[in-house]
């Protein structure tokens, strides 16, 4: 298990057909402790996904550094696994085949691939569906398979980019509880990007609020609600207080956006 150290991170990219460099993320520094579940929230365009992808090693860094357990990140690696919003399951493989995929790519040496994959599949609740193809599964089930695939390689850090964003509200709630159930088993360090405030508060130990133009950290909020978290917690006053704080941040962002549009 490992902690994440992000120091003075700056990520730029070129707009296609454009002249300038666009700064997605500017001077971001963040510490994540071992075993912490951290959510990153913010309105569209604040760079939260870009930040996550740079920790995954899929996006180049212009300045600053990212270190996992003191090792600098230069590209993808076996110490991290990503759960994308799109399940990205190979349509021609079964659930079992898909969960084995990560193990195959990393030439995993920790034991029999099928055994490992099946234990993860059972963990996410898809035990009966191991031989199904993705097109036979619902959106929620596909995401479970996606999560199983990421867990199979036993990463030190779990990176999740709005994994429940494409699901309907009820499935999202269920998946959130499922995710915590699975996460409680080995409490991996987790970075979780989301739009959904309630989801962020419910799941995390810490919430990083990002702002845009350019992407930066506005505030880091410690969520000291007791674990294990139950759905009833959403109605408690302390939860509501966190919700209020986050709503205020987003409202400020909205106002800022309107101002910019009027001026322009």
Q: CA 51, 55, 60, 66: dihedral to nearest 10 degrees?
A: 100
Binding site for another protein (CB under 8 A): 14, 16-19, 56-58, 76-78, 80-82, 84, 86, 88, 90-92, 101-102, 104-106, 133-135, 153
Contact 32, 38 (CB under 8 A): yes
CB of 250 to another protein, least distance (A): 26
Q: How far is the CB of 132 from another protein (least distance, A)?
A: 12
Q: Which is nearer to another protein, 15 or 263 (CB)?
A: 15
Task: CB nearer to another protein: give 189 or 207.
Answer: 189
Minimum CB–partner distance for residue 92 and another protein (Å): 5
State which H helix or E strand residue 238 sits in. helix 237-263
Q: Least Å distance between CB 199 and another protein?
A: 22
Helix axes 95-105 and 113-123, enclosed angle (nearest 10): 120
Instruction: State in angstroms the smallest separation of the CB of 63 from another protein.
Output: 21
User: Is the Cβ of residue 80 or residue 172 nearer to another protein in the bound state?
Assistant: 80
The per-residue DSSP string of 83-132 comes to E-SS----TTS-HHHHHHHHHHHTT--SS-HHHHHHHHHHHTT-GGGTT-
Asked if 249 contacts 82 with a C-beta cutoff of 8 angstroms, the reply is: no
């Amino acid at each position: 298990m490992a902690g994440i150290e992000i120091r003075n991170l700056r990520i730029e990219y070129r707009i296609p057909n454009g002249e300038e460099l666009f700064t997605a993320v500017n001077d971001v520094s963040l510490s994540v402790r071992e075993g912490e579940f951290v959510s990153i929230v913010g309105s569209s365009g604040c760079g939260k996904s870009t930040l996550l992808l740079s920790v995954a090693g899929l996006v180049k860094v212009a300045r600053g550094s990212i270190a996992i357990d003191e090792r600098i990140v230069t590209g993808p690696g076996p110490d991290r696994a990503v759960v994308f919003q799109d399940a990205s399951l190979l349509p021609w493989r079964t659930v079992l085949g898909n969960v084995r995929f990560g193990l195959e790519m990393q030439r995993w040496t920790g034991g029999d691939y099928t055994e490992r994959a099946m234990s993860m599949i059972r963990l996410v609740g898809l035990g009966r569906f191991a031989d199904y193809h993705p097109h036979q599964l619902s959106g929620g089930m596909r995401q479970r398979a996606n999560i199983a695939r990421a867990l199979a390689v036993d990463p030190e850090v779990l990176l999740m980019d709005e994994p429940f964003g494409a699901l309907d509200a009820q499935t999202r709630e269920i998946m959130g509880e499922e995710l915590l159930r699975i996460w409680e088993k080995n409490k991996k360090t987790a970075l979780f990007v989301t739009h959904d405030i309630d989801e962020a508060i419910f799941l995390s130990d810490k919430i990083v609020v990002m702002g845009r133009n350019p992407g930066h950290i506005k505030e880091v909020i410690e969520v000291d609600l007791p674990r294990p978290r139950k759905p009833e917690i959403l109605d408690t006053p302390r939860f509501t207080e966190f919700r209020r704080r986050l709503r205020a941040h987003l409202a400020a962002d909205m106002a800022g956006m309107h101002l910019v549009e009027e001026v322009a």
